[in-house]
A and B are shown apart, each in its own frame.
Chain A
Amino acid sequence: MHIQIDEIAKDFGTTTALHPVSLSIPSGALVALLGPSGSGKTTLLRILGGLEFPTSGRVLFNSQDATGLSVQARRAGFVFQSYALFRHMTVFENIAYGLRARPRASRPPKAEIDRRVLKLLDLIQLPQIADRYPTQLSGGQRQRVALARALAIEPRMLLLDEPFGALDAKVRKGLRQGLRDIHDETGLTSVFVTHDQDEAMELADLVVVMSMGRIEQIGKPQDIRAKPATEFVRDFIGA
């Protein structure tokens, strides 16, 4: 799905989190929002997911205005920074949550839900952990369960907030490829937030460098490396 961000701005009280920013995300792309903390990247992601609403500007999904669309109606698969798995539910119940939450008319039958959950557990290569609770999982496993849970709702896009932020360096490298593979397999338009320029450069088709609530540069990783648009970008990516 093509995502168009049109002059989106966001204030929290007297502080401005986002100055009007515009961005076009082609269908099927894997996009990184890269920047230091306080750059507005998470705010932008949450606006896309419908968890925050912009002070001004519009969001378009496939050229349709989606600015006022409720969080439920957006069908955005959202992976939270700390994964936000439901603590009192097993991995299976976590992944099945979105399907079971559907209104009766569009809810798949129980056998179909079971089948889809098991298929997703295969996709994240953790078929044996269905009955465990989140606290019994490692950080990397939790991240993959959160991804499976987000994919279970057959989302129109995938939004990930620092998906590797809570992991140690070694696990992080392995899961990067995992995310790339899942993105390529599902073909979902995906946006992830990161402060790690290596991660953004290695993983993304398109990198959006942000600072102080503004977009500094949009481009392919190699272009940004070769031609940093501003002093900030040059400094931040260490080119």
Chain B
Amino acid sequence: MSDATLHKPATPARFRSATQESPAARWTLIAIAVGGLALLVGAPLVIVFVEALSRGWAAAVAGLASRDAQAAIRLTLLITAIAVPLNAVVGIAAAWFITKFDFRGKAFLITLIDLPFSISPVVAGLCIVLLFGANSALGGWLVASGYPIVFAVPGIVLATVFVTFPFVARELIPVMIEQGRTEEEAALTLGATGWRVFRTVTLPNIRWALLYGTLLCTARAMGEFGAVAVVSGKIRGQTATMPITIEMFYNEYLSVAAFSMAALLTGFALLTLLLKTALELRHADALSATRRH
């Protein structure tokens, strides 16, 4: 090794490797990337916390302590706790179905999974209102039986599930296609039952994609505004989630309360990212071992 370095001719400074940019180009690119990131991501993030704390910690905490604020936080956590596991399970099932079986209409199904990404959340909300609202036959019957969907928690769950549906499935499908079926087949020939194969082979192989998809889904579920705004009816203390309450506070010139709630919501999102990074660091060994050459 040291021999090789000794005999290696010194590279004259004026030659650049083929893939290296000129210093001017490099600095321009770095400036654009850093500047753009700072302006578009960094500044809003900072301003949320600055505004929340503009009258001190006590005011910020007081803004979160009101009955409406507490109800909103509880509701958002409840919705997330229902929507995310639901989407994780359905997402795994959909990805499994699409990648492990061949059938007609596969491309159509993949497009259908993407639909919530391309449809405006407001339209999605309206569809739920039309389908389950008191004016529809189904909705009328549900309201009469005492299980209203629209302007109630089930409607918010439905809207959130719809909007966040693609996250888990979209993360899993490419990973599962890449991995193919042979490991599962091998486990079957070794005598494992279908459920055991899923638990011991499929799930461990997709766990990082699943984690990533779930975290994205969580962040989005907590932050969803448009669809929820339509189906929830924005009933203060009952169906107003955190994003909706932020808007209400803001419109009522309760700027500290609005921004402390926004800061809390941002904090939840940052927490999910932190969790992901921590898990990745902790399982770096397993992560590199399962990666293909």
Residues on A close to B: CB < 8 A?
A: 49-51, 71-72, 74-78, 80, 82, 84-88, 97-98, 101-102, 133, 135-136, 149-150, 152-153
Contacting pair B190 A51 (CB below 8 A): no
In angstroms, Cα B205 to Cα A152, docked, is 23
Shortest CB distance A89–B (Å): 8
B196 within 8 A of A: yes
In angstroms, Cα B116 to Cα A117, docked, is 49
Q: Which B residues are in CB contact (< 8 Å) with A71?
A: 185, 188-189
A72 touching B183 in the complex, CB below 8 Å, given contacts A88-B290, A135-B291? no
With CB as the reference atom, state the residue of chain B lying closest to A77.
B189
Can you list 17 A-B pairs with a CB-CB distance of less than 8 A?
A: A49-B189, A71-B185, A72-B191, A72-B193, A75-B191, A86-B186, A87-B289, A87-B292, A88-B205, A97-B187, A97-B190, A97-B192, A133-B290, A135-B289, A135-B290, A135-B291, A136-B289
B44 within 8 A of A: no
Contacting pair B182 A149 (CB below 8 A): no
Within 8 A of A (CB), among B246-293: 286, 288-293
In angstroms, Cα B240 to Cα A126, docked, is 63
With CB as the reference atom, state the residue of chain B lying closest to A46.
B185
A84 touching B185 in the complex, CB below 8 Å, given contacts A135-B292, A136-B289? yes
- Contacts A74-B189, A86-B187, A87-B290 supplied; 5 other A-B pairs, CB < 8 Å: A50-B189, A51-B185, A86-B183, A98-B190, A101-B190
Contacting pair B186 A80 (CB below 8 A): yes
In angstroms, Cα B183 to Cα A98, docked, is 13
Contacting pair A51 B189 (CB below 8 A): yes
With CB as the reference atom, state the residue of chain B lying closest to A146.
B186
Size class of B's contact patch?
20 to 34
Q: Which A residues are in CB contact (< 8 Å) with B182?
A: 80, 82, 84
Contacting pair A153 B186 (CB below 8 A): no
Q: Which B residues are in CB contact (< 8 Å) with A78?
A: 185-186, 189
Q: Give the total number of A-B pairs whose CB atoms are below 8 A apart.
A: 76
> Out of B191, B204, B293, which one reaches A101, CB within 8 Å?
B191
In angstroms, Cα B293 to Cα A85, docked, is 14
In angstroms, Cα B188 to Cα A197, docked, is 30
A84 touching B205 in the complex, CB below 8 Å, given contacts A75-B191, A153-B191? no
Contacting pair B191 A88 (CB below 8 A): no
A149 touching B190 in the complex, CB below 8 Å, given contacts A84-B182, A86-B183, A101-B196? yes
With a 10 A CB-CB cut-off, give which of B193, B200, B205 has the most chain A CB atoms: B200
In angstroms, Cα B170 to Cα A71, docked, is 31
Contacting pair A101 B186 (CB below 8 A): no
B201 within 8 A of A: yes
In angstroms, Cα B132 to Cα A203, docked, is 69
Contacting pair B191 A84 (CB below 8 A): no
Q: Which B residues are in CB contact (< 8 Å) with A135?
A: 288-293
With CB as the reference atom, state the residue of chain A lying closest to B185.
A51
In angstroms, Cα B200 to Cα A135, docked, is 18
Chain B, 201-225, contact with A by CB distance < 8 Å: what is the 0/1 string? 1001100000000000000000000
With a 10 A CB-CB cut-off, give which of A50, A71, A75 has the most chain B CB atoms: A71
